[in-house]
Structure 1
Amino acid sequence: MLVIEEHLVVSHKKPTLTPKAIIHQNFGNKASYVVEEVKEVHQIECPGLSIPQMGPCLYRCTLQLPELSVISGTFKKKKDAEQSAAEIAIEKLGICSETIDPTPQEAQESLVARIAFIFSEKFLLCDHPLGGHIRATLWRKGDLCRSIPISVLAMYDPKLLSLCKCINPDVESNPFLVISHIKSATANLYQYLATSERHLCIRRLTPYPQDIVESLMKEHGSLECIQVAAIRIPSSVEQSIEQVTLRISLREYYLDVIANELGLEDAANVMISRNLGKASSETRLFFTAPKPYLLDLSSKFANGKETLYLMGSLNVRASYFAGQDIAGDAILASIGYTRKSRDIFYEDVSVRLYYRMLLGKTPGGIYKLSREAILASELPSRFTTRANWRGSLPRDILCMFCRQHRLSEPLFSFHPFKTSSLLSGSRLKVAECGDNVIEHINGVCVTSSTHSDSELFKCEIKLLSRCGDLILLCSPKDGYKKQNDAIQNTSLKVLSWLNMWFKSMILSFERLCETADDFNIQIYSSNIISEILAGQSTHNGQLNAIQCNKLVEPTYMDSSYDMLGDLVQSLKIEGPFSGVCPCNGSLPCIRYSVSLAVQSQNVKEVIEVCDEFEFEVGVGATVSYIEEVVMQMSVGQYAYFSTNFLSSDLVFASSGESVKMLSLLSSKDCCIEYEISLIKVTEPPEERMEQALFSPPLSKQRVEFGVQQILESHASTLIDFGCGSGSLLEALLNYPTSLEKMAGVDISQKGLSRAAKVLNSKLCTNSDAGRQWTGVQSVILYEGSITNFGSQLQGFDIGTCLEVIEHMEEDQACLFGDVALSFFRPRILIVSTPNFEYNVVLQKSNPPAQEQEELDDKTLLQSCKFRNHDHKFEWTRAQFRQWASDLAARHNYKVEFSGVGGSADVEPGYASQIAVFKRDWEVKDVVKHAEEHHYNIIWEWNSRKE
């Protein structure tokens, strides 16, 4: 009887152990962790408001060891508290946490011992996955009995792979070298094991004890036959993938069946890839070892990808999946042995799963899969707030992308810095608002009149290869108040840059590298990046063989194709207009179904249905044409349209009927049909915060303030600067005023389109109902910037600019004031903007109680966020008064200050501050300007024409 004990094996390059793992190594079950929740109640008094608020939920851990007991600090996550307690204990006990790697000579000796142990009787009975392979070979006949392919040893025993990496680090990038090292080590065991000159396999010379074999035969003696669905990936990209069925008897070695499918006699020369997907997955690629590898396993062939190219056998698609060179046809299957059971494990692999795995190797695809909305979702271009983000977070997507392409985990480093500011010239740029709000700051940041400091964080991300080589570095200049906000935004920058390649079929790699500076990315290894991206371009190219009419078009990525008419056909919106519509920053929730239709055959197959799909408007979180359509809808309405712009890989990834889909895609008149219903709309945070405290809402109070000014001034004409979707103009139609003509101007075509639809519906409703109390005779909407001069905007009695300037850069807001009062010159100009000081009340800022007494009002103000992620600045009362007073003095206007929400006599003043500029002199001449801008008329209504 052969009895061989395994020698001590030390893995090469062991991953750094966590503090908890080190404690477990030293104390095992004697270490006891007790985590307790720490509850703290903080309160803050605001003028007129006293709301108790719970602080964040924190955790503290007590670690009890035989020798001592330690207590951690407080953390937001339980696992962080446990790790902190373990780290404290390690430091107090003086435990060394460094690991020692074996020398190549030591690793070689351990490799021989490990192989001997694998072929021992003890290993045959264990639950190791490799033991399942050895037991299965007992059913084989003749020399194949007890014969194990070397590729099985290389891929199913991590210890062997680790030792081979220690001997030769090149194994990491070329797994074929493992076979050479295993075969060489086996030669030292010639008394017990034999290797074949023609086949890559190892065979135990002496049989296993008969009683053990008979016991195993009885245990696995079923005659049952299983059928496993798999995918064949042809070597030629001209051939499409196809579904195959593996019929395996439980008395057969499943690798022999796969070998027959590949045209081989047995499994000896079947190569196996690393597992694909999750670590627990048994999904792998099985392929034929190329002849050069069989004849000579030296580095001459084992490192020669060029050899495979010259032979014409390199399977680019399979190589892209596996992250290693694969020659000839390949079988993608999910089958093998696990530690959980001695029975063979298997799952079906469908065409749909193949394309979902392909999709999961791209940044946008990972996000689509996390949303479970492949045909509707897109990776957003901006991270505004954690509350508005749906699906996997950017950091998680980046980590998944690195794993899929066998890169090291991304390295995130933080650089805290202090930034100071003065009252004048403060330039705080906000990227989001809400609970986890990103405070995006460029330059100076605080709005108090005295000098103060605020700590911000910059995040730097490094992508490294498995060998530790630096691939790229992303180091944005933007600062954020929270570390997590910095991580998410910087991760999204890297993902957005990479996604440019994966979404486009016409972008060259050279052009992609040229755009790196725009994303604050420095490339250190263009070769590795090009290898990662090369496989995807091959997949994009092979889609031509299975695309439907115009479904894959380079123009889909062309920015000039952003108009709805270029993407959507036969748009039809049904249902009554409810008035509740999406706007920028809102969260519409839709139900949709997508079908593949062939009109000539009157056939329509549903390929994706989603009952609730919520997305943020304005950040690219959904397919462009879906957002365009939804922006034209109100809650309760239904939309129907078709499009030809959708790649066929997304169709296959969504649909389970691959054969039927392929047949439909080959039709010349096939198209994609969408059915969408708008279920609800969640308003942006600014409106939600205001509505929680004010009744009526601030928006309505601002309208009522404007109406009062109109009544007092007897104005007959009004122009709304930055009218957006026409909410003010629509609201004014509900009041009996002296207005006869109204106009609106905005730079957004989307907003103006919405305004036209809303105003037209309102005017038609008033006319049908016979409401004569509004004297408005004409309404006109202009497209253009309110900082440009145009004589079309002259001659109005009253001008309004309500909650607009904060959406502009601060210098542009100042420019608008000068243009409005020097060129447009309305008799009255009303400008409103948020009072930044009131954000303390709206956002219920809540510092820890013990720090409360040490904070003055100005320091407390620094903890506030802007009310909307799109705000470029927000002024205090002093800043607003200074700007308005200087502006009025320059242009001979008088200015009065007021506001809505709150009170001028009670701190912190009005929630929305208002300046009313009045001109008491007559305009005698028409102002002319050398660079006069012509405003395009988007929509016009006239009561006489009606």
Structure 2
Amino acid sequence: MTTEGSSKKEVVNPKAIIHKRFGDKARYNVEEIQEFSSNGTPGLALPQKGPCLYRCTLELPEFSVMSDIRKRKKDAMQSAAEKALEKLTDPPVEDPWDQLVSRLSYLFSDEFYSICHPLSGHFRAALNREGHLNGFVPIHILPIYDSKLFNICKGIKPGVELKPLEVTSIVMDAATRLSETLFTSKEQVSLRRTSPYPTEVLQSVEVSCKQETYVKAIRIPYLVEKNVEPLTLDVSSDKYYMDAIARELGVEDASKVFLSRSVGKASSETRFYFCAPKSEDETKEDSQDRAFLNVRASYLSGQDIYGDAVLANIGYLWKSFDLFHEDVSSRTYYRLIMNKVPTGIYKVSREAVLAAELPARFGTRSNWRGLFPRDVLCMFCRQHRLPEPVFSSTVANGNRGPEETFRCEAKIFSKGQDLILHYHSQESFKKQSDATQDTASKVLSCLNVYLKKLNNPQMDLAMNGNGLDLEFYPQHISKEMRYFSLVHKSWPCFEASSKNLLGVNDNTACSYNIEGPDSEIFASSGCLVCVCYSVFLVKEGDKEELEKHEEFEFELGSEAVIPELEAVVAQMGVGQSARFRLELPPHELIFAANGDPARVLSLLSSGGCSLEYTTTLLRVTEPMEDRMEKAQFSPSLSKQRVQYAVDRIKESSATFLVDFGCGSGSLLDSLLDYPTSLERIVGVDISTKALARAAKSLHTKLSNNAVPVKSSHIKSALLLDGSITTFDSRVYGCDIGTCLEVIEHVSEDEATVFGNMVLSSFCPKLLILSTPNYEYNVILQNPEEDGEAINPTKPCKFRNLDHKFEWTRKQFEAWASELAKKHNYSVEFSGVGGTEGVEPGFASQIAVFRRACEFPEDVDMADVPYNVVWDWKSTNM
């Protein structure tokens, strides 16, 4: 087992203990020792050949010790430290208050002023403050920017990091011990040197030419119903920027302003600035001032913030003496909000807030775009200040050779190390990294469900894990998520809906207009498509561009974009363009996208706006399965399957055909290219997107008499939207039914449900059903082995990421034979691709079922639950 994310244990040894107690006051002197040996002559010793030996002397403030002789220097140093520990009965430890006083003395020294440190920038700026504030530095910024001082305060009083007023009080008490060098103002809660800085220091901060500098920030009102407001801060060279923020918050000076921890990246200077509470009592649960809790600022910062807050990106850095500043807009704020949820993290990583969605499943590295699932999950945990998720991978098949496969499990813990979530996948993968990414994807789906149902009873949340190999304890994450529902109450659902391939209608209410000539290249599920798109906020004649991508790639069918965009692209050919409009999403999403905030706000405030999308399909890359088949079969495997069906149609003189799971109509469309006896064709599928594509193609051929002359007697064509596990009398009793490469896209249990339904209720005279032969994958995925001895036990990937299973010949024959026996059909087996009788069989295995009984007499011909998508009838009838 390999475990990722686990931390190394701290190694504690004598030397480390000495260093912790004495620091630089412990001095080690190592000397080289040369051993001598006697040559038999009294009084004469000669150097002995061999490795050098070492001895160490350790000098401490009160005593020194000498080590034993050792072969290595570090062993001699450890020996000396060990002896020192034995001698220390009551080891001296420096008092933390003395450490704090010493640190304060250093921070206000001439030496520190010349160091490039965030605090030294504040000290220099304080010398430009006007009037009685000149030289005063607010105490509360000291622990914010000096981690050593902050850690000393925590050592004096553990848990004080959650109580900023107590930290300030501790620093002020320590400063009173430096009354000769520091002046303490309790009224201003600030410190100042009693002696002036040297002349060269004062001269360096004098502003000879004022540099006017303005930085954009935003105000976050504590009332959630109020919108964030843009503001501009004057941080010119002759001012202290903290005073400028104080004025915006309506307080006297910087000493009345508190800073939050950094928001977003750890290295960021983006912080919330808010009015300091007068006492710690104001932050208690029963305090009336709790009503002024700023939920949005508290949610983003991970600490309680009260009253209105200013979000700004400004401060002094380690690498420069100049003031750092960057504009913060409403877009910045809303993207910070989005980065607190998995779907939002993915949207921002793709720079496609109004187009992208977190895919419902993990694809291969070649098809996945944006942050990988593991990265999204890790960022989610960091944003909520949870420990990094722990991933553990195991070998799934017990092999230890190059053909091993992997499974992965993931655990998420709270800050208190309580288990929040444990997902243990039963799926195995050829690559360890794919197993990890798939597991992370499943965990993200669970978190999305949880975030949507925060107000549901705990039992309902726990039920989401059933069937997902999931243990979930939401009560352990509730503290970190306590403000989520208040902040996101008007936001859209962050989870793309999961669909059952056999029974869920995916109709999308979206009217669109496709422009441009038809090409011969269309996208289908599993294809990697590349589009360019733009999104506009429109009202009557006004239009403001919000988001734009010149090249945007996603896998069609993976729900990696909003459903409306996916539905439209599924109807387009390469080179075609489309335009469609949608109702406005929550305003937060609009502000998180690009655009002029003032212009956008003006349009939104006037009402009657909508979003307009324009997109062009630039290129289509077929799924790996199709590319493999085309590369190794001529004609392609799909054409061979169609030819097999055509040959059975000719033999049976069938006039009525139903294609179960017709998709975008590739089989029906191809059948029209052959002379057959067909007069009536019907396609059934649950995807209205695919059926719309099929209707467009079939209508073009049939209406323009583009089919062969011998096939011109086709009288009707019908496309129906519905589940093939639900009976509809319009497809009852067909001459021939086809179901080519469909059942592997659902679970094995669902495939059996379909088999029982089609043979017991639809009752075709002939049913042709094909599915991939798993045993042939070793040739498709390792073509270099063709002609050599094939290892049938070699594990292979499924041919398509959407396949839920792929059967061997033995498994398929057992399944089909049981169905045929149960429903009084005969069955024979064949296939296409490969050679009959030669291992490992056909690439696509086919079962042909023939009905051996009459039609049932108790059929309800009025039972028509399917929706008609397209109904064509010949004008020659």
Is TM-score (shorter-chain normalized) higher than 0.5? yes
Q: Distance in 1 between matches of 2:802 and 2:78?
A: 51
Matches within 5 A, 1:18-417: 106-141=95-130, 143-214=132-203, 216-217=204-205, 221-293=208-280, 300=281, 304-307=284-287, 309-310=288-289, 312-414=291-393, 416=395
- Asked if 1:928 is matched to 2:858, the reply is yes
The answer to whether the 8 Å contact 1:564/1:625 transfers is no
Q: Deviations over 1:499-520 (max 9, x none)?
A: 346668x965768745553566
Find the counterpart in structure 2 of residue 34 from structure 1: none
Q: What letter is aligned with 2:262?
A: N
Q: Distance in 1 between matches of 2:691 and 2:285?
A: 57
> 2:420 is matched with which residue: 446, 468, 472?
472
Find the counterpart in structure 2 of residue 517 from structure 1: 465
> 1:804 is matched with which residue: 715, 738, 742?
742
> 1:607 is matched with which residue: 543, 546, 549?
546
Tell me by how many angstroms 1:864 deviates: 0.3
The answer to whether the 8 Å contact 2:531/2:615 transfers is yes
Q: What letter is aligned with 2:809?
A: R
Find the counterpart in structure 2 of residue 941 from structure 1: 872
Find the counterpart in structure 2 of residue 696 from structure 1: 635
- Name the CA shift for 1:222/1:275 in 2 (closer, same or farther; >3 Å): farther
SS in 2 for 1:486: helix
- Asked if 1:573 is matched to 2:553, the reply is no
Find the counterpart in structure 1 of residue 82 from structure 2: none
Q: What letter is aligned with 2:408?
A: K
Q: What letter is aligned with 1:181?
A: I
The answer to whether the 8 Å contact 1:736/1:775 transfers is no
Tell me by how many angstroms 1:730 deviates: 1.0
- Asked if 1:684 is matched to 2:672, the reply is no
- Name the CA shift for 1:522/1:814 in 2 (closer, same or farther; >3 Å): closer
SS in 2 for 1:737: coil
Q: Deviations over 1:66-109 (max 9, x none)?
A: 99xxxxxxxxxxxxxxxxxxxxx9x999999xxx9x99975444
- Asked if 1:917 is matched to 2:849, the reply is yes
Q: What letter is aligned with 2:487?
A: H
SS in 1 for 2:545: strand
Q: Number of residues paired by the alignment? A: 794
Tell me by how many angstroms 1:817 deviates: 4.0
Find the counterpart in structure 2 of residue 628 from structure 1: 567
The answer to whether the 8 Å contact 2:657/2:680 transfers is yes
Q: What letter is aligned with 1:941?
A: W
Q: Distance in 2 between matches of 1:740 and 1:409?
A: 63
Tell me by how many angstroms 1:931 deviates: 12
Q: What letter is aligned with 1:464?
A: S
> 1:859 is matched with which residue: 782, 786, 793?
793
Q: Distance in 1 between matches of 2:776 and 2:147?
A: 60
Q: Distance in 2 between matches of 1:818 and 1:236?
A: 59
- Name the CA shift for 1:643/1:391 in 2 (closer, same or farther; >3 Å): same
- Name the CA shift for 1:620/1:179 in 2 (closer, same or farther; >3 Å): farther
The answer to whether the 8 Å contact 1:501/1:507 transfers is no
- Asked if 1:490 is matched to 2:421, the reply is no
Tell me by how many angstroms 1:825 deviates: 4.2
SS in 1 for 2:140: helix
Q: Deviations over 1:618-661 (max 9, x none)?
A: 33211122222222322222222212141111111223421221
Q: Distance in 2 between matches of 1:816 and 1:718?
A: 18
Q: Distance in 2 between matches of 1:332 and 1:785?
A: 52
Deviates more, 1:275-284 or 1:401-410: 401-410
Q: List gaps (5 residues or longer) in structure 2.
A: 1-6, 20-50, 53-71, 80-84, 86-90
Tell me by how many angstroms 1:556 deviates: 11
- Name the CA shift for 1:393/1:678 in 2 (closer, same or farther; >3 Å): same
Find the counterpart in structure 1 of residue 769 from structure 2: 831
SS in 2 for 1:345: strand
Find the counterpart in structure 1 of residue 41 from structure 2: none
Find the counterpart in structure 1 of residue 56 from structure 2: none
Q: Distance in 2 between matches of 1:94 and 1:814?
A: 73
Q: Deviations over 1:30-66 (max 9, x none)?
A: xxxxxxxxxxxxxxxxxxxxxxxxxxxxxxxxxxxx9
The answer to whether the 8 Å contact 1:897/1:916 transfers is yes
Q: Distance in 2 between matches of 1:647 and 1:179?
A: 41
Find the counterpart in structure 2 of residue 60 from structure 1: none
SS in 2 for 1:114: helix
Alignment identity in percent? 46
Q: What letter is aligned with 2:410?
A: E
Q: Distance in 2 between matches of 1:770 and 1:732?
A: 10
The answer to whether the 8 Å contact 1:195/1:203 transfers is yes
Q: Distance in 2 between matches of 1:587 and 1:352?
A: 30
Tell me by how many angstroms 1:185 deviates: 2.8
SS in 2 for 1:475: strand
Q: Distance in 1 between matches of 2:11 and 2:567?
A: 49
Tell me by how many angstroms 1:390 deviates: 0.9
SS in 2 for 1:488: helix
* TM-score in terms of structure 1 length: 0.76
Q: What letter is aligned with 1:776?
A: I
Find the counterpart in structure 1 of residue 40 from structure 2: none
Find the counterpart in structure 2 of residue 706 from structure 1: 645
- Name the CA shift for 1:94/1:472 in 2 (closer, same or farther; >3 Å): farther
Deviates more, 1:172-181 or 1:832-841: 172-181
Find the counterpart in structure 2 of residue 639 from structure 1: 578
Q: Distance in 1 between matches of 2:858 and 2:600?
A: 63
- Name the CA shift for 1:558/1:926 in 2 (closer, same or farther; >3 Å): closer
Q: Distance in 2 between matches of 1:366 and 1:483?
A: 24
SS in 2 for 1:249: coil
Q: Distance in 1 between matches of 2:751 and 2:620?
A: 30
The answer to whether the 8 Å contact 1:587/1:617 transfers is yes
Q: Distance in 2 between matches of 1:726 and 1:500?
A: 34
- Ranked by relative contact order (alpha carbons within 8 Å, sequence separation 6 or more), the top structure is 1
SS in 1 for 2:159: helix
- Asked if 1:897 is matched to 2:845, the reply is no
Find the counterpart in structure 1 of residue 412 from structure 2: 462
The answer to whether the 8 Å contact 1:580/1:635 transfers is yes
Q: Distance in 2 between matches of 1:305 and 1:833?
A: 63
The answer to whether the 8 Å contact 1:472/1:521 transfers is no
Q: Distance in 2 between matches of 1:314 and 1:387?
A: 46
Matches within 5 A, 1:424-823: 456-465=406-415, 468-470=416-418, 472-481=420-429, 482-500=431-449, 508=456, 513-514=461-462, 516-518=464-466, 522=471, 524=473, 526=475, 529-540=477-488, 567-568=509-510, 570-599=511-540, 602-766=541-705, 771=709, 773-788=711-726, 791-823=729-761
Q: Distance in 2 between matches of 1:821 and 1:537?
A: 50
What RMSD, in angstroms, separates the aligned Cα atoms of the two structures? Answer: 3.9
- Name the CA shift for 1:17/1:943 in 2 (closer, same or farther; >3 Å): farther
- Name the CA shift for 1:536/1:664 in 2 (closer, same or farther; >3 Å): farther
The answer to whether the 8 Å contact 1:782/1:935 transfers is no
Q: Deviations over 1:401-438 (max 9, x none)?
A: 22222233223334555579xxxxxxxxxxxxxxxxxx
Greater CA radius of gyration, 1 or 2?
A: 2
Find the counterpart in structure 1 of residue 778 from structure 2: 840
SS in 2 for 1:666: helix
Deviates more, 1:879-888 or 1:669-678: 879-888
The answer to whether the 8 Å contact 1:789/1:929 transfers is no
- Name the CA shift for 1:336/1:815 in 2 (closer, same or farther; >3 Å): closer
SS in 2 for 1:291: coil
Deviates more, 1:510-519 or 1:179-188: 510-519
- Name the CA shift for 1:177/1:395 in 2 (closer, same or farther; >3 Å): farther
SS in 1 for 2:483: helix
